[in-house]
């Protein structure tokens, strides 16, 4: 390696290290605040607590409701149920719709795809009042199933486009071979297409889970009982108009982030393939 190439490599590594520090610093600062006993907003630039403690985590996890029940556990269960069901419904509907748009030619196909695309151009708050009226008419306010329906429908357009693009990359010759062997359309979809689409399905599942897990505005609008809250809504309670419990808020934010991080690590081998292979012209 020549001297010029070595200097360029050194500068590249220095830049990457500095860039990584800039990205990780806010995260480290929040973690440090979570382990700091006081509730005030720390102005220290050092992301290392002087006297680390787990008091904030213990307080957040031991929160109880007005009836003495374990409120944090109930809200954690609410988030897991809503996110899990949203992921299952989103994957099922997006896989079937994406495959239909990819393989079949029918009246309204292009219009349907364009409607999915246009629906992503509007913010979720635009549909807040109509969704509230619909859930109220169905009796689904303060019900977890109401959130599941709303989150599933809001995530489907992106998921359909994502999976449709990936299905386009799977050769049709595989399906033709299966047809010659006597396989039905459902067997082809279940045993040929879906196993090959695992990377895209993993990315779609992650997106659906994160959409439901981190959403705040719809959840705080449709849920008025603390026993029905999801974890993002719970974190809002630590930020008041006159006082803010930053230590509790940071500890709660760290705990809310753990399931998403674990899911990222579990699906990381599928992420690159799923995000790139679906990027084709449909």
Residues near 68 by Cβ (< 8 Å), separated by ≥ 6? none
pLDDT confidence of residue 96: 92
| Mean pLDDT along residues 37-66 | 78
Q: Is the pLDDT of residue 134 over 70?
A: yes
Of 8 and 174, the structure prediction assigns the larger pLDDT to 174
CATH homologous superfamily of 64-277: MetI-like (1.10.3720.10)
Q: Is the pLDDT of residue 145 over 60?
A: yes
- Domain positions in the chain are 1-53, 64-277
Buried b (16+ CB within 10 A) or exposed e, 259-280: beeebeeebeebeeebeebbee
Cα 258 to chain centroid, rounded:
12
- Reported confidence tier of residue 32, pLDDT bands at 50, 70, 90: confident
Q: Is the pLDDT of residue 273 over 90?
A: no
pLDDT confidence of residue 40: 66
pLDDT (tens digit, 9 = 90+) per residue, 64-119?
877 778 888 899 999 999 999 999 998 998 999 999 998 888 888 888 888 888 87
- Reported confidence tier of residue 279, pLDDT bands at 50, 70, 90: very low
Average pLDDT, the chain: 84
pLDDT confidence of residue 43: 65
To the question of pTM greater than 0.85 for the whole model, the response is no
Least Cα distance to 163 among 219, 231, 105, 95 occurs for 95
pLDDT confidence of residue 281: 45
- Reported confidence tier of residue 278, pLDDT bands at 50, 70, 90: very low
Q: How many CA atoms lie within 13 A of 270 on its CB side?
A: 19
- Reported confidence tier of residue 280, pLDDT bands at 50, 70, 90: very low
Angle formed at CA 58 by CA 55 and CA 60, multiple of 5 degrees: 110
| Mean pLDDT along residues 142-162 | 89
Of 43 and 142, the structure prediction assigns the larger pLDDT to 142
68: left (phi over 0), alpha (psi -120 to 50) or beta: left
pLDDT confidence of residue 83: 93
Query: 3-class SS at 184?
Result: coil
pLDDT confidence of residue 120: 77
Q: Is the pLDDT of residue 122 over 90?
A: no
């Amino acid at each position: 390696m020549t001297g010029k190439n070595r200097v360029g490599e050194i500068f590249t590594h220095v830049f990457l290290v500095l860039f990584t520090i800039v990205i990780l610093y806010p995260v480290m600062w929040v973690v440090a605040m979570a382990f700091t006993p006081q509730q005030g907003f720390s102005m220290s630039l050092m992301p290392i607590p002087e006297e680390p403690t787990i008091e904030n985590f213990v307080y957040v996890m031991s929160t109880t409701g007005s009836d003495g029940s374990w409120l944090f556990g109930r809200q954690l269960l609410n988030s897991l149920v809503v996110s899990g069901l949203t992921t299952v419904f989103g994957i099922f509907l997006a896989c079937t719709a994406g495959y239909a748009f990819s393989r079949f030619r029918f009246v309204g196909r292009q219009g349907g795809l364009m409607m999915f695309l246009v629906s992503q151009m509007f913010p979720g708050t635009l549909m807040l009042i109509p969704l509230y009226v619909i859930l109220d008419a169905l009796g689904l306010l303060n019900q977890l199933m109401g959130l599941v329906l709303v989150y599933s429908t809001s995530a489907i357009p992106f998921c359909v486009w994502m999976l449709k693009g990936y299905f386009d990359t799977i050769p049709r010759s595989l399906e033709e071979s299966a047809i010659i062997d006597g396989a039905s359309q459902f067997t082809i979809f279940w045993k040929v297409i879906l196993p090959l689409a695992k990377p895209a399905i993993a990315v779609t599942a992650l997106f659906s889970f994160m959409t439901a897990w981190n959403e705040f505005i719809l959840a705080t609008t449709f849920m008025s009982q603390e026993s029905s809250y999801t974890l993002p809504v719970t974190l809002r309670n630590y930020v008041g108009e006159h006082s803010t419990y930053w230590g509790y808020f940071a500890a709660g934010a760290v705990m809310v982030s753990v399931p998403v991080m674990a899911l990222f690590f579990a699906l990381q081998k599928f992420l690159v393939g799923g995000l790139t292979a679906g990027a084709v012209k449909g």
